[in-house]
Structure 1
Amino acid sequence: MKVYRHINEFQKLNNAVVTIGTFDGVHFGHRKIINRLTEVADQSGGESVILTFFPHPRMILHPENSSLKLITTIEEKAELIEKLGVDHLIITPFTRDFSNLSAQTYIQQVLVEKIGTKKIIIGFDHRFGKDRQGNLAELQRHAAQYHYEVEEIPEQDIHEVKVSSTQIRDSLLSGDVETAEDFLGYPFFLTGKVIKGDRLGRQMGFPTANLLIEESYKLVPSDGIYAVEVELMEKQGAYPLDQPLVTSKSPVTANILKGMAYIGNRPTINGMTRNIEVNIFEFDKEIYRQYIRVHFKNFVRHDMRFNNMDELKNQIEQDKQAVLKLLY
């Protein structure tokens, strides 16, 4: 898959089959559209193109609301889309100027003149252009003028999946990673850099990898203890707009490591910052400054305060036994 950091980098195609959207999480509903996209491209001898945006439009149009967190970072989203067999991914910066393009200008300048669209695959409720005035009817109205076809993914097909990115975010924010996995089709994951901690876990016999999530917009699940699976990554970092976007990072480890993750501010020691710590079972390698990916499989319990460190240690022992039963 070829990835472009701006639509201006894209070379117009002769037969582009296109879909457009934010695709946060690349969940089952998104994949229904993307699978149809690649199918039509194959059948017509065209090339499949996804046009997506970064930052997320809501971050630009509603900057006063900083509560929006995304299921996938831009790199993670690109990686998931690549696995679906898409030929081209255009990640164009979403700006105020871009949002002010009229629907017809958007169709003419972006879809036709920049991309070379010959067929558009779109969900029944897709909106675009200034004040979201563009819709399926608008695309159909200009189809003959600009020599493209439009195919709608019917409402019943979208609703059949019964999933939205908002539902997934709500599930994760309540700690319900099992429901999130059902909606996504894969376990939710965090990718981050291992940094030095205060080694408190090691002192209690549970050494942890302290995870730094470099993208501030990445959603982190509710505080608590989770059963997780861990991959050691070759390299993974934030998405700089002035650098190439690299996808398909392979794991260093051939096997999936198992462990338990803690998210919280460590109330027993009056902690002030929110930590993400992972105790990897039967693993003793030095991985500071390395990137790891943590797949969340099960929620075990909420975070809580204990009267002393002995109570905390005893509870962690119980947590580990609960996680072992879940993962093995």
Structure 2
Amino acid sequence: MKIYHQLSDFKKLDNAVVTIGTFDGVHFGHQKIINRLCELAKTTGGESVILTFFPHPRMIIDPENQDLKMINTIHEKAEILAKLGVDHLIITPFTRDFSNLEPANYIKDILIDTIGTKQLIVGYDHRFGKDRKGGMDELIKQAEVFKYAIEEIAEQDINDVAVSSTKIRAALLDGDVSLAATYLGYDFSISGPVIKGDKIGRTIGFPTANIFVEETYKLIPGDGIYAVTIEMNEGGKAEGSKVEDANHIPSNLLPSTFKGMAYIGQRPTINGMTRNIEVNIFDFDREIYGQTIKMNFLKFLRHDVKFTGLEALTVQLHQDKEATLAYFSQR
């Protein structure tokens, strides 16, 4: 999959099969649209194109609202779309000017003149253009002018999946990573460099790697202990790293996988003041400060608790490790 960070970088195609959306999470509902996109491109000899936006439109339209968190970073989304077989991904910077495009201009200037759209696939509730005035009526009207075919994925086809990005965010904030994975079709993950902590974990036999998530808009699951897998490689990159051509990932970016248990919370037992993301990697003793790792959340084990001291915490961590190993043995 080829990735473009500006519309101006894209070379107009002769037969572009296009869909548009933010696709946060790229969940099963999104996948219905994307699978149809790729199928139609293949059967008509065209090339599949996804036009998506970053930052998320709501971040621009309502910048004071800091509550919206994304299931995927833009790089995570790109890798998922590549695995689904998409040919081209255009990541359009969403700006005030872009949001003020009249629907007719949006279709002519972007879909037709820039991308070369011959077939367009959209969900039943797709809206676009200034004040979200554009919809299926406008698309059908302009299709007669610009001679493109349009296909709408029916509400029933999408809703039968019974999933939405909102439901997934709620599940993750509750710590229910298993439910989120059911909706997504893959395990939720976070990626980031390993930073130095206060090394209390190693004094009680549970050394942890502290992960710094650089993208402030990335959703972090609810506080607690989780069974996880960790991906990393000798070069310090992870599978979630930025790759411009997501069909051709260099071999030195292919990660090794380890098992572990992760902690998210403020460490109340030691009166912590900041929210930490830490992982105890099983059977692992390398120094990996500065390296980027990817952590896949598989199962929620327990909520965060304040213990009477480090001794009580250590006892619980041994129980947590046993529970994690038991989970992996049953997979």
Could you tell me the TM-score, scaled by structure 2's length?
0.95
Q: Distance in 2 between matches of 1:250 and 1:192?
A: 20
Q: Distance in 2 between matches of 1:158 and 1:251?
A: 38
Q: Secondary structure at the match of 1:142?
A: helix
* Contact 1:17-1:49 within 8 A present in 2 as well: yes
Number of the residue aligned with 2:315: 314
Following superposition of structure 1 onto structure 2, how do residues 209-288 of structure 1 map, counting pairs within 5 Å? 209-233=209-233, 234=235, 235=237, 245=244, 247=246, 248=249, 255-288=256-289
Distance 1:38 1:66, change over 3 A: same
Identity across the alignment (%): 60
Q: Which amino acid aligns with 2:185?
A: G
How many residue pairs are counted as aligned between the two chains?
325
**Shift of the alpha carbon at 1:236?**
5.2
Q: Distance in 2 between matches of 1:54 and 1:253?
A: 26
**Shift of the alpha carbon at 1:245?**
3.9
Q: Secondary structure at the match of 1:161?
A: coil
Is 1:191 aligned with 2:191? yes
Number of the residue aligned with 2:301: 300
Number of the residue aligned with 1:13: 13
Q: Secondary structure at the match of 1:13?
A: coil
**Shift of the alpha carbon at 1:296?**
0.3
* Contact 1:75-1:245 within 8 A present in 2 as well: no
Q: Distance in 1 between matches of 2:216 and 2:240?
A: 10
Larger mean CA deviation between 131-140 and 115-124 belongs to 131-140
Number of the residue aligned with 1:61: 61
Larger mean CA deviation between 280-289 and 258-267 belongs to 280-289
**Shift of the alpha carbon at 1:239?**
8.9
Q: Distance in 2 between matches of 1:187 and 1:251?
A: 23
Q: Distance in 2 between matches of 1:67 and 1:281?
A: 34
Distance 1:237 1:58, change over 3 A: farther
* Contact 1:224-1:303 within 8 A present in 2 as well: yes
Distance 1:309 1:249, change over 3 A: farther
Distance 1:169 1:87, change over 3 A: same
Number of the residue aligned with 2:117: 117
Q: Which amino acid aligns with 2:31?
A: R
* Contact 1:239-1:245 within 8 A present in 2 as well: no
Q: Distance in 2 between matches of 1:117 and 1:246?
A: 22
Q: Which sections of structure 2, spanning at least 5 residues, go unmatched?
A: none
Q: Secondary structure at the match of 1:12?
A: coil
Q: Distance in 2 between matches of 1:60 and 1:139?
A: 25
Q: Distance in 1 between matches of 2:27 and 2:289?
A: 32
Number of the residue aligned with 1:167: 167
Q: Distance in 2 between matches of 1:291 and 1:226?
A: 19
**Shift of the alpha carbon at 1:256?**
2.5
Q: Distance in 2 between matches of 1:13 and 1:246?
A: 18
Q: Which amino acid aligns with 2:259?
A: K
Distance 1:144 1:182, change over 3 A: same
Q: Distance in 2 between matches of 1:134 and 1:149?
A: 17
Is 1:325 aligned with 2:322? no
Number of the residue aligned with 2:36: 36
Q: Secondary structure at the match of 2:160?
A: helix
Q: Secondary structure at the match of 1:259?
A: strand
**Shift of the alpha carbon at 1:165?**
0.7
Task: Please tell me the root mean square deviation across aligned C-alpha atoms, in Å.
Answer: 1.8
Distance 1:239 1:69, change over 3 A: farther
Q: Which amino acid aligns with 2:154?
A: P
**Shift of the alpha carbon at 1:64?**
1.2
Distance 1:129 1:228, change over 3 A: same
* Contact 2:28-2:183 within 8 A present in 1 as well: yes
**Segments of 4+ moved more than 3 angstroms:** 236-240, 244-255
Q: Deviations over 1:298-326 (max 9, x none)?
A: 00111111111101111111111111111
Q: Distance in 1 between matches of 2:244 and 2:6?
A: 11
Number of the residue aligned with 2:133: 133
* Contact 2:238-2:255 within 8 A present in 1 as well: no
Q: Deviations over 1:120-171 (max 9, x none)?
A: 0111111111111111121011101011010011111101111111110010
Distance 1:257 1:31, change over 3 A: same
Q: Which amino acid aligns with 1:300?
A: L
Number of the residue aligned with 2:105: 105
Q: Deviations over 1:12-52 (max 9, x none)?
A: 11110000000111111111111100110011111100000
Number of the residue aligned with 1:290: 291
